[in-house]
Every structure is written in structure tokens, then in C-alpha cells.
Amino acid sequence: MQRAALSLLPLVLALGLTGGSASAQEGSLGQRIRDRLQARQQTQAKDVKPGDAVHILELGGLKRQYLVHVPQAYNPAKPAPVLVALHGGGGNMRLQADDGRYGLISKSESAGFLAVFPNGYSAWPGGRLATWNAGACCGSARDKGVDDVAFVRAVVADVQRRYSVDAQRVYATGMSNGGMLAHRLACEAADVFAGIAAVAGTDNTLACTPSRAIPVLHIHARDDDHVLFNGGAGAGAFRDETQITQFTSVPETLARWVKRNACAALPARVLERPGASCERYGSCQGGATVQLCVTETGGHSWPGAEAVRRGKEGASQALSANDVMWDFFERR
């Protein structure tokens, strides 16, 4: 106690707290010390340079990693929103951070959020060919019972220690298997995430009891040949059927979230344009909403992306998944 008091003495003198009533003095002293210590902590621990960095965590006996992109506008004095972006099955964090394929780095720069790219479970060097345990899918992460919800929670906590974060504006998105994990995060980590947006990955959880109503956006192409719109695994999915599952349909995924969030039974059309439309279910508990955006073409890809895998149908340009999801999140 004596050591703590002595360490605060220079701060007290620097604040110039002399004179005045005892009670007012004590209140002012306490608040100003807290403010100065908070500012000092931000300067020492969170004044980081814009750009990319990779961080490593150990969890459950596994060494895991994630990549974070800090936008140029980052200011430690102004807590930033966070978007956790989960790659598809067989991908990795660097693939999801590829701006040509997903555009999330550019969106981070324009919107000012920290873009966080965790790497799924992988037995391969460099974390390649990684998968997520989203419940019924997928691959080794599912088969080994990897606790990816705990991992993503740990990633968010580590980001909050390293950077200045607005804890009320932490969101998750994902592609395919990553979108499936985003649905699971909505089920099991609604205390961490303010909302989720899944792209081309339906709800394949084994159980779902969210702690609160949570905003959910789902984006899917009607002609997806991996995760079929009306349910099941298409010809474009993993050749080894034991690595996947018979995917839940898009209509069933939406019906589940409408029920969980106690939303109005009928949606309102909020976007209509050639090749794409969006419907929103309102009057949900806690002010949450559930929204579905459908593109007519684009297959199993990220709407608005510049590039896709060789030999695959080009992504739909009828809407931008990044713009739609950030607009959805900002409505909170």
C-alpha cells in the first residue's frame, strides 16, 4: 500500500491538487488519477503502428495464431470496432486477408475497424488447409473436438489487451465453414459479439442457446454448389463426404434465428436490385434483427470479390458482402 501511494505522489503533484474542500478534493483527485493512468496505459500498451501483425496463442495444448490488420485511421485514444473474419474450410487466415478475394483490408481502411483473421485448426506447416469446428462440420477440427469457440474468445481478449477496442462493437463474419462458425459464435458467445454475418455457410450447430437475442445476417447465392441453398452438400464441396455434413438449408437457418430472437414472422424487403435482394425480420427481442441477402448467381463465393479460385464462377457483383454487412452492423 505504501509503495502504491508513493508511486502516485508525482502524479498527484503534477495534477496540481492543492486547496479546496477535503471531500471535493478527494473526488477530483480520484477521478483525475484514474483518467491519467488510463491515458498512460493507452500510450504504453496500445499505441501501435498501422499495418499487419501476427500473434500466437496457446490454448488447450495447441499453438494457434491470428493476423490483425490495423487501419491507418487507428487512434488509441478512440476505441475501434473489431471484425473477426473466419476463413473457409481448407483455407487459412492469409487467404481470408487476401484483399482481391475478400476486400476486407480495404473495408477496414475505409470503415476504420480492426480486421482480425484467426487461423483454423491445422496439422500442416504454416496453418494451411485449416478447418473450424462449427458443430456438424468440418474436417479435423470437428473430428478432434477442437474448441474453436474458446479460441475465438481468446483471440478477442488478446486483441483487447493489445489494442484500443470498443467492446460494444465486436462483430464476426466468415466464409463457408467460417460462416458456420460465425453462427456457432452467435449461439455460444453472444456476450462477446454484437452481431454476426455469415457468407455461404449455414447454421450447422448441434445445439444453440444464445444468452441474448443477437443480430444475424446471412448472405448466400441461390446457385451455391457447395452449401446448397435448399440444404445438403453439392458437387463442389469436399470430395471426401466424411469431412463435411448434409448442410442445413438457408430457409431453415433463417427460421431458427427468427425463432431464437423472437422476431416478427414476416420479413420486410429492404433491398431489391437486379441479381440480389435482402429481407429483414424485425420486432425481435432486444432490438435485434435477422436479415437474409440472396444473390442469384456467384456460386460459392464472397459477393463483390474481385477474384475467386481458378475454374470457379465469378463472384456476384450485384451487391458487396462487405458493404451490406457493415451497414447491418452499424445499424446496431
pLDDT of residue 313: 84
Q: What is the pLDDT along the chain (332 residues), one digit of tens a residue?
A: 333 433 333 333 333 333 444 444 445 555 564 455 344 444 444 668 899 999 999 998 999 999 999 999 999 999 999 999 999 999 999 999 999 999 999 999 999 999 999 999 999 988 999 999 999 999 999 999 999 999 999 999 999 999 999 999 999 999 999 999 999 999 999 999 999 999 999 999 999 999 999 999 999 999 999 999 999 999 999 889 999 999 999 999 999 999 999 999 999 999 999 999 999 999 999 999 999 999 999 999 999 999 888 878 899 999 999 999 999 999 86
How far apart are the C-alpha atoms of 185 and 315, rounded to whole Å? 26
pLDDT of residue 73: 96
pLDDT of residue 249: 98
How far apart are the C-alpha atoms of 58 and 273, rounded to whole Å? 46
pLDDT of residue 28: 58
Residue spans of beta strands (DSSP E) within the chain: 51-59, 62-70, 80-86, 114-118, 165-175, 195-199, 216-221, 268-273, 276-281, 290-295
pLDDT of residue 206: 98
Domain boundaries, the chain: 2-44, 50-330
pLDDT of residue 282: 96
pTM above 0.95, yes or no: no
Q: Which CATH superfamily is domain 50-330 in?
A: Alpha/Beta hydrolase fold, catalytic domain (3.40.50.1820)
How far, in Å, are 6, 192, 272 from residue 91 at the CA level?
53, 25, 32
- Which residues make Cβ contacts (< 8 Å) with residue 329, sequence separation at least 6? 81, 83, 169, 171, 194, 195, 197, 215
Residue type, 229: F
Measured in whole angstroms, how far is the alpha carbon of residue 308 from the centre of its chain? Answer: 21
